[in-house]
């Protein structure tokens, strides 16, 4: 299947640059995956589309302030390092700009020397593995020195770094936010619970794949990068009970979807306590085993994310809905508006 089949015209000005003050005031497009019918609403009304007994599954990963600015110890040349994945013994997989300045053995200093790093490995597309040196607790040092790793499409400076976190973010480890969850407030989640809808959490730490475009002509040749996930025994048992009772499982975001589908695939349609690495790539032709519906943002042309939602709702339905979204001036990407596929 050709990547160009997932292209559409997206005016650059529709890529949201800043978050709305009220998280729930984003617009909401409701897409019927069977008929392609579209309804326009606002996110604070999401409760109208959920039923008691259903489950809403959210990704509780927490974004690290993972963008670091430092300089080469030898020359003072300035460098940007983006932390992607923790390995072992204070080693991290990273992206570096400009990568040509960093070879094995290169040492980098951050801040006034509170944090230092030495390059251990080189890989393609600016990838580097560093070993970090510091005193105290690494995450506390990172909070002092790091910045939020906003996607390259967002040019504006983020005034409040908490707006790039979900209100339920808990598990440190992501290089990017699970942005479909940015529309929820604690108050809205309490309303959803009070309506008899289960709120469940899984974890998937968003990594390298979020920052890399699809650079092949044919989908079959694209390789997803592995990301760490985990599901507790309690969540698994609740999801099995909901599925057996005939109620629906609604995932919040592509990351939650990929986690649920990974686990359901591994356990023949059931959910089990598990953790590991997933590189699942979902595109049209995939048969869903875990979810019945999905809340998501509006994604970029030819991205793996629009391919995933096209697998759920049909490519033609999705592209027609996106055409309407452009005409109606919906806001796209991380700080943009929401879609509920039901």
Q: What is the pLDDT of residues 158-178, one digit of tens each?
A: 888 889 999 999 999 888 899
Predicted local distance difference test score (pLDDT) of residue 210: 60
- Give backbone dihedrals phi and psi of 208, rounded to 5 degrees, phi first: -60, -40
Strand runs labelled E in the chain:
27-31, 38-42, 55-59, 61-63, 67-72, 78-86, 91-97, 107-110, 115-122, 127-134, 171-174, 198-204, 227-231, 249-252, 274-278, 293-297, 338-341
Rounded to two decimals, what is the model's pTM?
0.89
Which position has the higher pLDDT, 306 or 161?
Answer: 306
- Structure token pair of residue 299: 């994604």
Of 93, 88, 128, the closest CA to residue 107 belongs to 128
How many CB atoms are located within 10 Å of the residue 266 CB? 15
Per-residue pLDDT band at 114 (split at 50, 70, 90): very high
Rounded distance, CA 118 to CA 131, Å?
5
Rounded distance, CA 104 to CA 120, Å?
5
- 8-state DSSP, 332: B
Rounded distance, CA 16 to CA 246, Å?
38
Q: What is the pLDDT of residues 97-108, one digit of tens each?
A: 999 999 999 999
Rounded distance, CA 296 to CA 183, Å?
10
């Amino acid at each position: 299947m050709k990547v160009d089949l997932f292209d559409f015209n997206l005016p650059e000005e529709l890529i949201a640059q800043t978050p709305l003050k009220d998280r729930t005031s984003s617009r909401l497009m409701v897409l019927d995956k069977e008929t392609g019918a579209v309804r326009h609403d606002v996110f604070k009304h999401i409760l109208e589309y959920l039923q008691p007994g259903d489950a809403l599954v959210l990704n509780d990963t927490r974004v690290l302030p993972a963008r670091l600015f430092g300089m080469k110890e030898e020359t003072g040349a300035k460098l940007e390092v983006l932390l992607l994945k923790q390995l072992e013994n204070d080693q991290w997989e990273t992206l570096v700009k400009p990568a040509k300045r960093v070879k094995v053995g290169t040492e980098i200093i951050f801040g006034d020397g509170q944090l230092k790093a030495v390059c251990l490995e080189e890989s393609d597309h600016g990838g580097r593995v560093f070993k970090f040196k510091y005193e105290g607790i690494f995450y506390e040092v990172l909070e002092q020195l790091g910045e939020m790793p906003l996607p390259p499409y967002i040019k504006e400076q983020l005034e409040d770094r908490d707006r790039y976190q979900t209100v339920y973010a808990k598990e440190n480890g992501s290089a990017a936010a699970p942005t479909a969850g940015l529309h929820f407030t604690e108050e809205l989640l309490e309303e959803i619970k009070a309506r008899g809808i289960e709120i469940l959490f899984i974890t998937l730490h968003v990594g390298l794949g979020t920052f890399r475009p699809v650079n092949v002509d044919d989908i079959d040749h694209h390789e997803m990068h592995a990301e760490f996930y985990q599901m507790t025994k309690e969540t698994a048992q609740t999801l099995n009970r909901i599925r057996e009772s005939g109620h629906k499982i609604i995932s919040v975001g592509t990351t939650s979807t990929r986690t649920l589908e990974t686990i359901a695939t591994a356990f023949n349609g059931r959910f089990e306590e598990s953790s590991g690495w997933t590189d699942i790539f979902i595109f049209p032709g995939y048969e869903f085993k875990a979810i019945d519906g999905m809340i998501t943002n509006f994604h970029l042309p030819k991205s793996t994310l629009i391919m995933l939602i096209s697998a759920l709702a049909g490519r033609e339905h999705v592209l027609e809905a996106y055409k309407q979204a452009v005409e109606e001036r919906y806001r796209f990407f991380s700080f943009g508006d929401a879609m509920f596929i039901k």
